[in-house]
Structure formats: C-alpha cells, structure tokens
Amino acid sequence: MANLITYREGVNVPPLQMSNGLTSVFVSVLSLAASALAETDHQRELAVWIASRDQAVYGLGLVGFDLADLPWSKSKFAEDQAFLLRVIEAAKAKVGWEHLDYSPNEAWLFDCLDHFAEMVRAFSVEHALVEEERIWPFGGKPESFRLCTEHHVYLHNMGCVLCNGG
C-alpha cells in the first residue's frame, strides 16, 4: 500500500506517492518542523492537521490527502503558504530530528519534501475548501494546543504522531 498527496485541481501537478514507511517519516519530520515554527493559533492548527495524518490511528495507506483538504485560511492564504514552505525547509534542515529514534533516508525524504514544496507553491487559494467542507479527523478542530513533552510535537485528538509510531 501507499499514500498519495494530490492537487486534484492542479493542472500538470503530479501527485506525490510514498510508501507507508516513507509517509510516516514525512509526516513526522513535517510535524516536528511545524510544531517548532508555529507562532499563531492558525499555524498551530496547521501543525496539528499535519500530525493528524497518523497511520497508527488511521491505518497504513489511509493518510493521503489533497492539498485542498488542509485548513487554509482564505483571507491569509499567502501567510499559510509561506508558513508551509518554511516548514518544509525546516524539515530539510533537520529541525526537531533529535526527537526521532531513527535516521531517515535523506535522499528519499528530501525528494518527497521538494515535490511537496512544488505542490504547495502551485496551489491556488480558490481550490481550498471552505471551513464547512473541511473534515477534521479524530473529533474535530482542536480547541487547545498541547505539545508532547517527549517529542515537542503538537498533539492531535488521539495523541502524539511520534509516540503513536504513525
């Protein structure tokens, strides 16, 4: 099984396909970076949403998503897009990697992060779902933000993506 990250409305934007193992690493390093960089509640929401792509909870091969599914703020889209691009660069700079109990295969991971960055750059605000259409996993949008004391990752409603092994 594998996971796909797509941009359904993006013409000529190929999907990002990853094995289950690579997906877990991808989500983990993005969660670490997003949690470290988040300064606003909306950025924390984005960090929680990324962390909620937790295969240990959803199941293997079931955490793919379309870019439209992210909790974009249509009024602050440029800020969200810039934040996600900073998160990707921070993940490539190994921000938070000291909390991993393994060493990721950088060649594979960085290719995926670069592909994801291209997709985020190509994404257009008119393709973002409105709040009413967005589905928040595990009981809904977070009402508060808590960090895992061990991994320093924002918790989703079912815990820490790294503690869960997702």
Model pLDDT for residues 144-156, shown as the tens digit of each residue: 899 999 999 999 8
What confidence tens digit (pLDDT) does each residue in 54-66 have?
777 776 766 788 8
- Of the chain, the percentage scoring pLDDT greater than 90 comes to 67
Q: What is the DSSP string of 122-136?
A: H--GGGSPPTTT---
Q: Which of 158, 133, 150 shows the shortest CA–CA distance to 32?
A: 150
Q: What share of the chain in percent tops pLDDT 70?
A: 90
What pLDDT score does 165 carry?
A: 79
Looking at residue 78, its pLDDT comes to 96
Enumerate the β-bridge partners of residue 147: 154
* pLDDT value for 134: 58
Give the start-to-end residue ranges of the domains of the chain.
2-164
Higher-confidence residue: 21 or 59? 21
Tens digit of pLDDT for each residue in 109-135?
Answer: 999 999 999 999 999 999 987 665 556
